[in-house]
Amino acid sequence: MTIRKILVEPDKFLRQKSKPVDIVDKDLQTLMDDMLETMYNAPGIGLAAIQVGVPKRVIVIDLSRDGEEKSPMYFVNPEIVSSSNNDATYEEGCLSVPGQFAEIDRPDKCHLKFLDYNGNKKELKAEGLLATCIQHEIDHLEGILFIDYLSKLKKTMIIKKLSKQKKSIERIVV
Ligand code: GNR
Ligand code: NI
């Protein structure tokens, strides 16, 4: 398994729409293994393939806590079949928006169809943090980041801060 580089906003690549997967083969499983290792290393609770520069509709999630047994979940071509009329608010962060956190409202439950690690069709009814995380990751597949839900002013401030950080890192590298 390999730790891959996580793209950071502002990056046009993060804004593209990811393409459905045709078949779950060994190469795709390698991608999912690498995504999981990259996510654990970060650390984060979810990761979409586009965050490591691969525009495919693939997500990994693990909500287990420190010291608990790991419980990785893999979602290929996830589709939300239906979602709740009630919202829940969670403080969200994103590995592609480092150091920034904001409270975001999303439907508190969602019913999902997807393919698993072996390409088998699955369905899942998610709630709580899992429902929030799945929706955050599916947004990535559409090129959407959580900061898109903030006011224009807050979003602009965050993007300015991130691009300054990026430039200063570039200077150190050069
Ligand atoms: O690590 C992550 N934590 C998190 C917290 C609240 C809602 C969503 C998330 S996902 C995020 C990792 C990430 O950027 N996934 O795309
Ligand atoms: Ni994210």
Q: Determine the distance from the C-alpha atom of residue 1 to the mean position of all C-alpha atoms in its chain, rounded to a whole number.
A: 19
CB neighbourhood size of 10 (10 A) = 16
Q: Residues 9, 79, 137, 142: which is the catalytic one?
A: 137
In sequence order, which residues have a C-beta less than 8 Å from that of residue 55 and are 6 or more positions away? Answer: 13, 16, 17, 18, 19, 49
* SS3 assignment for the chain: CCCCCCCCCCCHHHHCCCECCCCCCHHHHHHHHHHHHHHHHCCCCEEEHHHHCCCECEEEECCCCCCCCCCCEEEEEEEEEEECCCEEEEEECCCCCCCCCEEEEEECEEEEEEECCCCCEEEEEEEHHHHHHHHHHHHHHCCCCHHHHCCHHHHHHHHHHHHHHHHHHHHHHC
pLDDT at residue number 162:
96
Structure tokens at 71: 């419980």
Q: What confidence tens digit (pLDDT) does each residue in 98-145 have? A: 999 999 999 999 999 999 999 999 999 999 999 999 999 999 999 999
Q: What residue's CA is closest to ligand 1, atom 11?
A: 94
Which residues lie near ion ligand 2 (Cβ < 5 Å)?
A: 94
pLDDT at residue number 86: 98
Write out the two tokens for 133.
Answer: 């995380």
β-sheet bridge partners, residue 74? 60
The pLDDT value recorded for residue 174 is 74
**Domains of the chain and any CATH numbers:** 12-170 (3.90.45.10)
pLDDT in tens, 46-92: 999 999 999 999 999 999 998 899 999 999 999 999 999 999 999 99
User: Which of 92, 105, 134, 158 has the most ligand 1 atoms within 8 A of CB, as the residue to mutate?
Assistant: 92
What separation in Å is there between the alpha carbon of 118 and the centre of ligand 1? Answer: 24
| Residue 9 appears among annotated catalytic residues | no
Ligand 1 pocket test: which of 58, 100, 127, 133 has the largest number of ligand atoms within 8 Å of its C-beta?
133
Token pair recorded at residue 110 = 């969602």
Cα within 13 Å of Cα(129), Cβ side: 11
DSSP β-bridge partners for residue 102: 92
Identify residue 145 by its one-letter amino acid code: L
